[in-house]
C-alpha cells in the first residue's frame, strides 16, 4: 500500500501487507489501517506511522470450502473470502464480510488484537458494508439492513420494482430544502468523535 502526500504528489511511505490489499478502512486519526487481503478470511491491521503490520486476525469457526485449492476451484467472489470491512463510528467494533459462508463477522475492537464476538447470517453473499449517516444501521451488499446495536436484520433494500438490491456502492444522504447537506460514502471509516481502541504491540 502506497501512501502519498497531496501537496507535491509524492509517495512518502509503503505498507507491505502479507498479500494483495482489498477493501480497507482507517480509524478516526488515520493511525491504524484495517485491511482485507487476498486469501484471508479476516483482516490485518497496520500501524500507519511505522508501516508495520501489528495484527493478523482470522475468522474462527467458519472455514473455506475443503476443495478450494483443487481444480476446478469453487467460486470465491472477488477472488477474496473477505471483501468488505467497516468500523462502527465509535470504533468499538470491526465488521467484516464472509462471502464464502454468507455471514457478517463482528469483532470487539476495544482490545488488541480484536476478538471475534458475533456472526450474522445474510440472505445472499455479502461483499461490502456501508454504515448509515447516523451510525445506527449497516447496509450490506446482500441487500440486508442490519441494526448495529442489536445486530439484527431489520430490513431489505429493494428497488422501485420490489427487487432485492445487490449493490456494493451506496451513499446515505440528507437533503434540506433541495441542497445536499450531509453524506456518508461506502467506506466505513472511524469517526472523529470515536473512542479509540486500546492499542498493544503485535508479535
| 12-46: pLDDT as tens digits | 889 999 999 999 999 999 999 999 999 899 999 99
Determine the 3-state secondary structure of 46 from DSSP.
strand
Say what the pLDDT of residue 65 is: 63
Say what the pLDDT of residue 202 is: 41
- For the whole model, what pTM was predicted? 0.85
Domains delineated in the chain: 2-60+74-184 (2.130.10.10)
Partners of 47 in the β-ladder: 32, 52
Q: Which three cell numbers stand for residue 120?
A: 450474522
Sign of CA dihedral 90, 96, 97, 101: negative
Cis peptide upstream of residue 16 (ω within 30 degrees of 0): no
Say what the pLDDT of residue 174 is: 80
Say what the pLDDT of residue 189 is: 72
The closest alpha carbon to 85, from 19, 49, 41, belongs to 41
Give every residue of the chain whose pLDDT is below 70, as ranges: 65-75, 188, 192-203
The closest alpha carbon to 114, from 136, 91, 137, 134, belongs to 91
Say what the pLDDT of residue 69 is: 60
The H-or-E segment that residue 94 falls in is strand 93-98
Say what the pLDDT of residue 66 is: 61
Q: Which three cell numbers stand for residue 19?
A: 498479500
Q: Which three cell numbers stand for residue 150?
A: 442489536
Determine the 3-state secondary structure of 77 from DSSP.
helix
Amino acid at each position: 500500500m502506497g501512501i502519498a502526500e497531496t501537496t507535491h504528489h509524492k509517495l512518502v511511505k509503503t505498507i507491505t501487507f502479507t498479500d494483495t490489499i482489498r477493501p480497507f478502512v482507517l480509524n478516526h486519526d488515520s493511525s491504524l489501517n484495517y485491511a482485507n487481503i487476498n486469501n484471508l478470511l479476516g483482516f490485518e491491521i497496520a500501524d500507519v506511522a511505522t508501516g508495520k503490520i501489528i495484527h493478523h486476525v482470522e475468522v474462527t469457526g467458519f472455514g473455506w470450502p475443503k476443495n478450494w485449492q483443487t481444480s476446478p476451484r469453487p467460486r470465491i467472489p472477488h477472488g477474496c473470502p473477505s471483501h468488505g470491512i467497516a468500523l462502527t463510528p465509535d470504533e468499538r467494533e470491526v465488521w467484516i464480510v464472509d462471502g464464502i459462508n454468507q455471514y457478517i463477522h463482528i469483532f470487539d475492537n476495544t482490545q488488541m488484537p480484536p476478538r471475534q464476538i458475533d456472526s450474522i447470517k445474510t440472505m445472499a453473499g455479502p461483499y461490502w458494508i456501508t454504515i448509515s449517516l447516523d451510525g445506527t444501521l449497516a447496509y450490506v451488499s446482500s441487500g440486508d439492513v442490519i441494526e448495529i446495536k442489536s445486530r439484527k436484520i431489520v430490513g431489505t433494500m429493494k428497488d422501485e420494482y420490489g427487487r432485492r438490491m445487490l449493490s456494493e456502492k451506496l451513499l446515505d444522504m440528507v437533503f434540506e430544502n433541495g441542497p445536499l447537506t450531509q453524506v456518508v460514502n461506502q467506506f466505513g471509516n472511524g469517526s472523529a468523535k470515536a473512542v479509540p481502541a486500546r492499542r498493544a504491540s503485535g508479535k
